[in-house]
């Protein structure tokens, strides 16, 4: 992206480069009058229904998130509103990789898909869209406990180990969601894409940390309920933005379970309504369950467990030594002793050494382009870990610039060479660089030969943490994987453009509360050229009945819609709900 619009929002401005690459312009002008009508219909339905079943901050939260019922939100307005609660928002192109999504959350930035669902998917779309993201996620963010949970979840999710299968599934889901939103999608292609998603879901092997975390995300952020099992309220964005499932989820057939760490054992299918939902008594409980799960993750466990996960992941991972040194690269091998403690680690391909998530000068990808290897552990006959020894103690052992030293590790590894530099920070030593260095393991196998150049030895008694991704993502240029599949953007034919104009005329009439007399002409055009449409007809009927004018025309339109509901069962609920809203309108003062 050549330019970057931060909407004058501090959270958006603070985003790192590797996340900015996913941001696209909203292109507000691309939304058609039908798109705005879809937004208005869903928001009015939501309001009418959700005021009774949504968690209480939802309705005032709409205003706090800069949303109105009348039109699709403009990103600048949303950012102005969200900034007041320490959040921001950006638009992206469809599904983005889970790790990137999590990181945005950690930076307190809402990721919003720029597209909006088509009229034929008004009740539910598998693709992320602006209704789901802004009407679903944004309003609850005003609740402090909830947004604390969301950003904390992001910071933990950003460190989760993911597998090659996770990426394959992500790609398959993205492709299916794009196909389903195409106006002229090939049924055969959709069927194939659905089969691929099903196949990949069934062949994930043992689920990765990211896969398990995404289940916790799904059962809380997307499909969560709060309160009691008997009378829960909705806070999950997937439910809040689905006018179909937000009502059906309250049926007794959908089992309600208390939300505990056990929810991680329930997988989900994004293409079907949920068979069970989880109820949390409080938002604090969400943080407690997340904390319990985080304690099982590699970034907290480190050691052999974390290194094993890193090797299986085959992605860039970071191993953190107890001295604070961070080694980021593709970890391909490590050795452990009988007690299961790692005593040697090895990366291949370009590797970066960092401290406090900042690359050490001179230790970037170019310098360690073929990988990095180093012992871990304590030295023989020395009680304190090497990283804790004072400058004087190191000097006594020959570890000082220009001196030759031999280090015998408890693991049997021996390092001999001339010390070039010793890097220490905050009373700990992180790195010793040797010239003319030989590294041999207990069997006499050469791990490093003087002819290979300078040897950088990491210092640390233990590997305390292992997480996915690089420590310094900017320096690593960790192009967080970006999909090759672009979302579909429609070209409108003459007939569709004509329909857009009719919707716009109805909208202008409603907003300006002006001349209602031409609504009869709009209706005639709908009848002769756009017989499939139902939403524009419903909007005309709404105005005629509210203004108490042209009763014959109103009766004509109502009869047409009743007949349509009979002939096309999939429209029955949508039209009936439309009639309900005409009879029981959303109070004007709420059309903020």
pLDDT per position as a tens digit, 178-210: 787 777 778 898 899 888 888 887 877 788 999
Judgement on whether residues 155 and 277 belong to the same structural domain of the protein: yes
Is residue 481 included in any domain, yes or no?
A: no
How far is Cα 364 from Cα 239, in angstroms, rounded to an integer?
A: 46
Full residue range of the structural domain in which residue 87 is found: 10-162+208-291
What would the mean pLDDT of 458-479 be, rounded to a whole number? 89
Tens-place pLDDT, residues 14-46: 999 889 989 999 999 999 999 999 999 999 988
Contact indicator for 350, 368 with CB cutoff of 8 Å: yes
Judgement on whether residues 463 and 584 belong to the same structural domain of the protein: no
**DSSP-derived pairing of the beta strands 428-440 and 325-336:** unpaired
Give residue 475's pLDDT band: very low, low, confident or very high (50, 70, 90).
Answer: confident
Domain harbouring 215, CATH code: 1.10.800.10
The last residue of one of the domains, among 256, 291, 326, is 291
Tens-place pLDDT, residues 496-547: 999 999 999 999 999 987 788 889 999 999 999 999 999 999 999 999 999 9
Judgement on whether residues 113 and 218 belong to the same structural domain of the protein: yes
pLDDT at 1: 40
Is residue 135 included in any domain, yes or no?
A: yes
Is the pLDDT score of 382 beyond 60?
Answer: yes
How far is Cα 459 from Cα 450, in angstroms, rounded to an integer?
A: 19
Contact indicator for 457, 434 with CB cutoff of 8 Å: yes
pLDDT at 590: 46
pLDDT at 35: 96
Is residue 486 included in any domain, yes or no?
A: no
Contact indicator for 426, 416 with CB cutoff of 8 Å: no
The last residue of one of the domains, among 178, 207, 236, is 207
Judgement on whether residues 219 and 327 belong to the same structural domain of the protein: no
Is residue 4 included in any domain, yes or no?
A: no
Tens-place pLDDT, residues 245-276: 888 899 999 999 999 999 999 988 777 789 99
Q: Which of the 8 DSSP states describes residue 166?
A: H
Report which of residues 217 and 163 the model is more confident about: 217
Is residue 488 included in any domain, yes or no?
A: no
pLDDT at 175: 85
Mean pLDDT of the chain: 91
Is residue 1 included in any domain, yes or no?
A: no
How far is Cα 349 from Cα 41, in angstroms, rounded to an integer?
A: 53
Contact indicator for 235, 55 with CB cutoff of 8 Å: yes
Is the pLDDT score of 591 beyond 50?
Answer: no
Judgement on whether residues 198 and 212 belong to the same structural domain of the protein: no
Judgement on whether residues 135 and 69 belong to the same structural domain of the protein: yes
Report which of residues 109 and 121 the model is more confident about: 109
What would the mean pLDDT of 166-180 be, rounded to a whole number? 81
How far is Cα 540 from Cα 531, in angstroms, rounded to an integer?
A: 15
Cα–Cα distance list, 489 to 118, 183, 267 (Å): 11, 9, 32
Judgement on whether residues 242 and 100 belong to the same structural domain of the protein: yes
Q: Which of 265, 284, 456, 473 is nearest to 362 (CA)?
A: 456
Report which of residues 123 and 585 the model is more confident about: 585
Judgement on whether residues 397 and 259 belong to the same structural domain of the protein: no
What percent of the chain has a predicted confidence (pLDDT) above 90? 69
What are the helix (H) ranges across 204-282?
Answer: 209-217, 237-240, 245-248
Is the pLDDT score of 484 beyond 70?
Answer: no
Is the pLDDT score of 490 beyond 80?
Answer: no
Report which of residues 155 and 48 the model is more confident about: 155
Q: Count CA atoms within 13 Å of residue 520 on its CB side.
A: 8
Judgement on whether residues 541 and 583 belong to the same structural domain of the protein: yes
pLDDT at 589: 44
How far is Cα 282 from Cα 232, in angstroms, rounded to an integer?
A: 11
Between 144-157 and 209-217, two packed helices, what is the crossing angle to 10 degrees?
170
Judgement on whether residues 351 and 458 belong to the same structural domain of the protein: yes
What percent of the chain has a predicted confidence (pLDDT) above 70? 96
List of residues 6+ apart from 199 with CB closer than 8 A? none
- What is the value of pTM for the model shown? 0.86
pLDDT at 587: 63
Judgement on whether residues 350 and 470 belong to the same structural domain of the protein: yes
Is the pLDDT score of 485 beyond 70?
Answer: no
How far is Cα 405 from Cα 439, in angstroms, rounded to an integer?
A: 12
Judgement on whether residues 394 and 355 belong to the same structural domain of the protein: yes
Between 144-157 and 98-106, two packed helices, what is the crossing angle to 10 degrees?
130
Is residue 487 included in any domain, yes or no?
A: no
pLDDT at 477: 67
Q: Which helix (H) or strand (E) holds 425?
A: strand 414-425
Contact indicator for 79, 88 with CB cutoff of 8 Å: yes
Tally of structural domains, the chain:
4
Report which of residues 119 and 487 the model is more confident about: 119
Q: Which of 112-116, 162-166, 463-467 has the lowest mean pLDDT?
A: 162-166
Is residue 489 included in any domain, yes or no?
A: no
């Amino acid at each position: 992206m050549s330019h970057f619009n931060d909407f004058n929002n501090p959270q958006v401005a603070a985003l790192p480069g590797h996340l900015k690459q996913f941001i696209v312009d909203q292109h507000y002008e691309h939304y058609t009058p039908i798109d705005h009508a879809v937004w208005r219909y869903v928001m009015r339905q939501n309001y009418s229904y959700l005021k009774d079943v949504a968690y209480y901050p939802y309705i005032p939260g709409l205003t706090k998130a800069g949303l109105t019922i009348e039109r699709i939100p403009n990103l600048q307005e949303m950012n102005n509103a969200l900034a007041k609660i320490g959040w921001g928002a950006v638009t992206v192109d469809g599904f983005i990789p889970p790790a990137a999504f999590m990181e945005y959350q950690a930076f307190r930035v809402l990721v919003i898909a720029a597209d909006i669902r088509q009229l034929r998917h008004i009740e539910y779309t598998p693709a992320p869209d602006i209704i789901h993201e802004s009407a679903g996620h944004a309003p609850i963010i005003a609740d402090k406990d909830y947004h604390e949970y969301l950003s904390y979840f992001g910071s933990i999710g950003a460190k989760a180990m993911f597998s090659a299968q996770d990426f394959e599934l992500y790609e398959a889901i993205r492709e299916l969601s794009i196909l389903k939103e195409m106006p002229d999608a090939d049924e055969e292609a959709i069927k194939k894409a659905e089969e691929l998603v099903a196949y990949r879901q069934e062949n994930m092997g043992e689920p990765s940390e990211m896969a398990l975390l995404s289940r916790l995300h799904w059962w809380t952020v997307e499909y969560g309920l709060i309160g009691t099992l008997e009378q829960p309220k909705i806070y999950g964005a997937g439910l809040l933005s689905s006018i179909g499932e937000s009502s059906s989820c309250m049926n007794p057939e959908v089992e309600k379970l208390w939300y505990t760490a056990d929810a991680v054992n329930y997988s989900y299918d994004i293409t079907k309504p949920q068979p069970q939902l989880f109820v949390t008594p409080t938002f604090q409980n969400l943080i407690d369950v997340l904390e319990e799960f985080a304690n099982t993750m590699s970034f907290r466990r480190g050691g052999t467990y974390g290194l094993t996960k890193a090797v299986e992941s085959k992605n860039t991972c970071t191993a953190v030594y107890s001295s604070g040194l961070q080694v980021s690269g593709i970890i391909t091998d490590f050795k452990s002793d009988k007690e299961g403690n790692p005593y040697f680690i090895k990366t291949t391909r370009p590797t970066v050494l960092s401290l406090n998530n900042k690359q050490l000068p001179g230790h970037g990808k170019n310098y360690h382009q073929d990988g990095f290897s180093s012992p871990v552990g304590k030295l023989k006959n020395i009680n304190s870990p090497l990283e804790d020894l004072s400058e004087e103690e190191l000097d006594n052992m020959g570890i000082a610039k220009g001196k030759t030293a031999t280090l015998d590790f408890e693991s049997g590894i021996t390092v001999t060479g001339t010390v070039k530099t010793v890097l220490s920070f905050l009373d700990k030593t992180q790195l010793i660089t040797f010239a003319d260095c030989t590294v041999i393991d207990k069997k006499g196998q050469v791990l490093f030969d003087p002819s290979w150049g300078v040897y950088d030895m990491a210092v640390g008694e233990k590997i305390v943490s292992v997480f996915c991704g690089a420590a310094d993502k900017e320096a690593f240029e960790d192009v967080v994987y970006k999909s090759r599949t672009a979302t579909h953007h429609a070209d409108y034919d003459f007939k569709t453009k004509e329909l857009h104009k009719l919707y716009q005329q109805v909208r202008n009439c409603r907003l300006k509360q002006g001349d209602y007399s031409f609504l009869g002409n709009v209706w005639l055009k709908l009848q002769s050229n756009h017989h499939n449409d139902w939403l524009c007809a419903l909007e005309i009927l709404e105005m005629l009945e509210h203004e108490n004018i042209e009763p014959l025309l109103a009766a004509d339109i109502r009869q047409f819609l009743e007949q349509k509901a009979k002939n096309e069962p999939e429209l029955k609920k949508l039209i009936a709900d439309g009639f309900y809203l005409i009879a029981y309108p959303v109070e004007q003062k709420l059309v903020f």
